[in-house]
Chain A
Amino acid sequence: MFVTSAFAEESAPAAEGAAGAGAETHAGTEVPGEAHGTFPPFDPATFPSQLLWLAITFGLFYLFLKRVVMPRLGGIIDVRNDRITQDLDHAARLKGEADAAVAAYEQELAEAKSRANAIGQQAGDAAKAEAEAVRKKVEAELDKKLGAAEASIASIKANAMKEVGTIAEDTASAIVEALVGGKASKAEIAAAVKSVAR
């Protein structure tokens, strides 16, 4: 920016003279135009000092980072990673324990269930057997009572039949006596009654 403005100022007189003279004036104005000489980043006069101080500061920085900061940072990160792996292991172990406990619990539950089933079955069987026995006993008793009753009915019936025969014989002898007059033998009457009753 500076050079161009300086050049613009000087270009009018330069145009009057020869081309070579113009170049000379231009070259001449460049140096006083920049009070501090060349463009600062390209000024070789500052190079040794900057290089020296760069070497000193960067060297110290490098040593400080290598000796102090990086071991510490690396340590922090390693410790954290170790801790994370440790915690993950711990968590995995706990999970395994929990799984085992669940499995044991389920197994016990299954065993208890089967035991309960067996007990229930047994109790059911026993109850059934008892009920069967009782039923049989009651049936037997009933059968006995029925038999006794039938027997008593049969004896009563037989008695009654027998009585019926006697009554009939008596009645027949009485009728025979009244009608015929005479006595019929007992055996004849009995045989007659028997044949009629048949």
Chain B
Amino acid sequence: MAADKVDPIHQFHIVKLIPINIGGYDLSFTNSALFMVATVAVASAFLYLTTASRSLVPGRLQSVSEMAYEFVSNMLRDSAGTQGLKFFPFVFSLFMFVLVANLLGLFPYFFTVTSHIIVTFGLAALVIGTVVVYGFGKHGLGFLKLFVPHGVPVFLLPLVVLIEVISFVSRPVSLSVRLFANMLAGHITLKVFSGFVVSLSALGAVGIAGSVLPLAMAVALTALELLVAFLQAYVFAVLTCMYLNDALHPGH
């Protein structure tokens, strides 16, 4: 059936490339792992090679690397202050990793690493873990002030603290689900519209004429997905900066 040919979910399947099984856990090198390696390799190679000449007047590609560097640097400084710059390597790695993973996922037949909730959740848990560990390490129990906002009437305090705790706990979930759902939905939509093109063009001349519309839609969606790929990497990085700000200054 046509549905078998253009199954929009097929692109998310994990395929074991090198089966590895240690202690009952399946730790195989899969297509997902392959694309994580590819993401890291592409991002590292780009950043390394474009800056190799260390030109005083940067070329185009070196400007791109410098722009990314200064973009994340400004983002972090704006939301977490100069103290936040100790997390700069972390935020920059996160931003570049998510961005390159998203962009690589736009290529046909490529696997999108960030369309798997466990990957985005892993990254989000890393962020929140860093916030919690650093927050308690730096401020001790003072970090708990994060849950007690200033100027709240005492009788409202239990309710407010409860809300603050819930909002804090939901952070890793919202952070990971936002990225995951955006990538997943975008790729499914793309696949569905591309599938329409294939199915319609199998119906003869009328179908081919009719398939122009979903084709145009697929092109437009690709542009949109390009924007989303960048935007979601940006959003992920910005939220990371804001959460790190909480770890640095829990008083607010």
Contacts and interface: CB of A to CB of B under 8 A. Distances in A.
Interface stretch (A14-22, A60-68, A158-166): A60-68
Contacts of A1: 3, 8
Given A41-B117, A66-B89, A49 B51 contact: no
A75 B47 contact: no
B48 A49 contact: no
B200 interface: no
B239 interface: no
A39 B48 CA distance: 37
B44 A50 contact: no
Interface in B72-100: 88-90, 92-93, 96-97
Contacts, number: 129
Contacts of A64: 40, 44, 48
A72 interface: yes
B69 A49 contact: no
Interface string A1-45: 110010000000000000000000000000000001001111101
A172 B177 CA distance: 165
A60 B51 CA distance: 19
Give the interface size bracket for B toward A: 35 or more
Contacts of B39: 57
A141 to B, nearest CB: 88
Interface string B150-190: 00000000000000000000000000000010001000000
Interface stretch (A76-84, A111-119, A149-157, A178-186): A76-84
A40 B184 CA distance: 11
Interface string B104-142: 000000000001111100110010000000000000000
Contacts of B89: 62, 65-66, 70
A77 B66 contact: yes
> Which of B28, B40, B123 has the most A CB atoms < 10 Å from its CB?
B40
Given A40-B14, A57-B39, A69 B48 contact: yes
15 contacts: A2-B3, A5-B3, A39-B9, A41-B118, A41-B180, A43-B14, A47-B118, A49-B25, A58-B93, A61-B44, A69-B51, A72-B54, A73-B65, A75-B54, A76-B55
Interface of A: 1-2, 5, 36, 39-43, 45-55, 57-58, 60-62, 64-66, 68-70, 72-77, 79-80, 83
